[in-house]
Amino acid sequence: MENFDALSLVIISLGAFLLPLIAQRISIPSIVLEIAYGILVGPVLGIVKISEFISGLAIFGFMLLMFLSGFEIELDTFREKGLKTLSIPLAIYVATVATSFYLIISFDYPIFLALVLCTTSVDIVITVLRSDDTIKTNYGQSLFMSALIADIFTLIGVTVFASLQHSEGFSISNLNVILYFLIVILILRIIRRVAWWNPQIFSRMFDGNDPEEMGIRSSIALMLTLVGVAVLFDIEYILGAFLAGTLFAFTFPNRGSLENSLKGFSYGFLIPIFFINIGLNYDIEVFKNTEFYIQVLSLLGIALIVKIVPSLFLIFSKIKFRQLVAGGFLLAARFSLIIAMAEIGVELELISKALEQQIILLAVLTATISPIFYRIFSPKSTEA
């Protein structure tokens, strides 16, 4: 335990506990404070040193973040809506991808950034839409489904793209990716068959009063198993974490209290450490460079266009122009997922560390201004 730093652990733990309380009081996302706290106690004050122990906790938090990204996929939502209802959100996403790739290629950015900019913060979208009951309208449902589709398809696209880049394109080495997916499908079939024949065993997983917390145990076991298998097949471990969550969501659509328990366990401590660790590794020297701010503003402009232009497809839902623009601004809100995608890009050497730092600041800006501009352009009363 040579790399164990007790003082660093205490300071990070206090931050993970206190920052959400402060964030709630000043009405900003807690992730903003977590990253800023990491910058303050790390690069600025030098109180907390980067260590293998803290980095290990951060990696585990990162895996849980990706696991929950897959775990929160509501497949029943897509079945209930039907293809006709999903046609406009799907058109918006296709237009988003096309616009993003066009602009990224035109401005000579790394191609991976085109996928990164396709993400949307579903949490921010839902929170804003619920605040004025817009979520209950057809307009609100279209925005919600657009955000959900953007995150799910982008995550899948990133994992496929990362796998192809890792194996240097389509080749015989891609067989390990295909074999990995076959193993995942096999595991899915086994779990569903066992659950069908032994429902009493699996019912404990969703019992909120189970003293042994079999639900959390089984979820973490599945995640680590698929992460381990992914690494064995020379595939990015984040793909394993995301697929584990998706697999769980597909097998058990009705998860009861397990989802709240997992979120409490993950967002309560380990995921905040991941975001604090991002701050610890942030290069504060970029703040002294005027060009850095120009680059961030350029990226912000592209990020807004990528979402606002495709949102014009909402006109086919007989939505007023002001609402189209308002919806585009809201869908431009990005946060935890775009930061996670940027981290993946750096790990796979698909984007530079400097670009990742621009993306982190971009996430903070869009999470702050998007809800504001949504409310400015959104009419007082939203039509159903």
CA separation for the pair 104, 114 (Å, rounded): 6
pTM for the model stands at: 0.81
pLDDT at 202 (0 to 100): 66
Beta carbons of 89 and 120 less than 8 angstroms apart? no
pLDDT at 31 (0 to 100): 86
The gap from C-alpha 87 to its chain's centroid, in whole angstroms, comes to 23
CA separation for the pair 215, 219 (Å, rounded): 6
Domain residue extents for the chain:
72-259+288-384
pLDDT at 351 (0 to 100): 93
CA separation for the pair 336, 345 (Å, rounded): 14
pLDDT at 216 (0 to 100): 81
Task: Pick 72-259+288-384's CATH classification: 3.20.20.70, 3.40.50.970, 3.40.50.2300, 1.20.1530.20.
Answer: 1.20.1530.20
pLDDT at 53 (0 to 100): 86
CA separation for the pair 273, 279 (Å, rounded): 10
Helices (H) and strands (E) in the chain, counts: 17, 0
CA separation for the pair 306, 251 (Å, rounded): 34
pLDDT at 186 (0 to 100): 86
pLDDT at 290 (0 to 100): 93
* Beta carbons within 10 angstroms of residue 378's beta carbon: 21
Q: Mean pLDDT of successive 10-residue segments in the chain (384 residues)?
A: 71 91 84 91 90 89 86 66 77 96 96 94 87 83 89 82 65 67 81 75 65 77 86 78 80 71 83 91 90 95 96 87 92 90 87 93 92 85 44
In this predicted model, what pLDDT tens digit does every residue of 192-208 receive, in sequence order? 787 777 776 666 666 66
